[in-house]
């Protein structure tokens, strides 16, 4: 059992013929992900991966021909919104957008549309999702996690890798790891993923990795306090960040007196969440 992706996921890659798309397709296929198609307009009829993966001109045609039910997007920022719309219109259940630098205005249009349909969008500017031993969709290194019962959700890519590896070092595995991305407007938030973990029988405990900026962590704390029965441990990045200075992600900025690490930590601790001072403390907190 897992959330969002598993060994039955049939994945197509938008932007598969670009350098990034092709490189990460090779990594995903090597991990065991079932990549059934690629999409690059104008390149339909070609094959990649030594003739193993067909390339189509559109997501709709690719999905109809291969039964793909999920997409991962590796296209330049100016094309990302259209790529998401195309995948959504093709009826795919899950869209994972790796692209960073997508304009907020574009994402506001995307979010308004996605909220009206059944499609789940992850990202943009996210590392994707990994269900250890089953499927890897995106850029999370497959060798840093082992199968287990810890659900992980994170706004940060690099921090995700650090914590997954720290869990592995303690022989603790992950059920699924979800990178939601650090942009101000994205498709999936902490509460969305926490609710999935709460309902997932393969997940017994959860690690949540937040950062400064916005109020998503405070909202998650309220959800944890009122709706979750499973134990949660957390880490908030940017605890020494000065107000008004963006740290890494577009959404990681303290503005107008909100978004500070101290506020997030206080809200989480009041919700019964154990909050680590350093990421490597998390495995011991989960026990």
Has this prediction a pTM greater than 0.85? yes
CATH code 3.40.50.261 region(s) in the chain:
140-286
- Dihedral pair phi/psi, residue 180, rounded to 5°: -90, -10
Task: With a cut of 80, say whether residue 246 has pLDDT above it.
Answer: no
Please return the burial class of 17, using the count of CB atoms within 10 Å of its CB with bins 0-12, 13-18 and 19+: middle
CATH code 3.40.50.720 region(s) in the chain:
10-122
CATH number for the domain whose boundaries are 10-122: 3.40.50.720
Q: How far apart are the first and last CA of the chain?
A: 22
Confidence of residue 1 (pLDDT cuts 50, 70, 90): low
Task: With a cut of 90, say whether residue 45 has pLDDT above it.
Answer: yes
Catalytic residues: 249
Look at residue 256 in the predicted model and tell me its pLDDT: 55
pLDDT tens digits, one per residue of 144-178: 999 999 999 999 888 999 999 999 999 999 999 99
- 16-25, 100-109, 158-167, 233-242: segment of lowest average pLDDT: 233-242
Look at residue 46 in the predicted model and tell me its pLDDT: 97
Query: What's the CATH fold of domain 140-286?
Result: Rossmann fold (3.40.50)
Look at residue 265 in the predicted model and tell me its pLDDT: 95
């Amino acid at each position: 059992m897992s959330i969002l992706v598993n060994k039955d996921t049939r994945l197509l890659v938008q932007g598969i013929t670009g350098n990034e798309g092709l490189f990460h397709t090779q990594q995903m296929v090597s991990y065991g992900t079932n990549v059934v198609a690629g999409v690059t307009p104008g390149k339909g009829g070609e094959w990649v991966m030594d003739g193993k993966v067909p390339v189509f001109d559109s997501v709709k045609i690719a999905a109809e021909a291969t039964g793909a039910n999920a997409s991962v997007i590796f296209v330049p920022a100016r094309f990302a919104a259209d790529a998401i719309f195309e995948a959504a219109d093709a009826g795919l259940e899950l869209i994972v957008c790796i692209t960073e630098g997508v304009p907020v205005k574009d994402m506001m249009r995307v979010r308004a549309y996605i909220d009206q349909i059944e499609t789940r969008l992850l990202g943009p500017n996210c590392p994707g999702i990994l269900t250890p031993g089953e499927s890897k969709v995106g850029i999370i290194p497959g060798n840093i996690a082992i199968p287990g019962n810890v659900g992980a959700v994170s706004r940060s890519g690099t921090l995700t890798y650090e914590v997954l590896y720290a869990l592995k070092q303690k022989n603790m595995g992950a059920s699924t790891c979800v990178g939601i991305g650090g942009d101000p407007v994205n498709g999936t938030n902490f509460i969305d993923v926490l609710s999935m973990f709460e309902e997932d029988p393969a997940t017994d405990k959860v690690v949540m990795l937040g950062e400064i900026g916005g109020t998503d962590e405070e909202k998650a704390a309220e959800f944890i306090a009122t709706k979750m029965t499973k134990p949660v441990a957390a880490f908030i990045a940017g605890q020494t960040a000065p107000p008004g200075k963006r740290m890494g992600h577009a959404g990681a900025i303290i503005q107008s007196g909100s978004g500070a690490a101290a506020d997030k930590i206080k809200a989480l601790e009041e919700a019964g969440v154990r909050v680590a001072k350093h990421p490597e403390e998390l495995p011991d907190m989960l026990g």
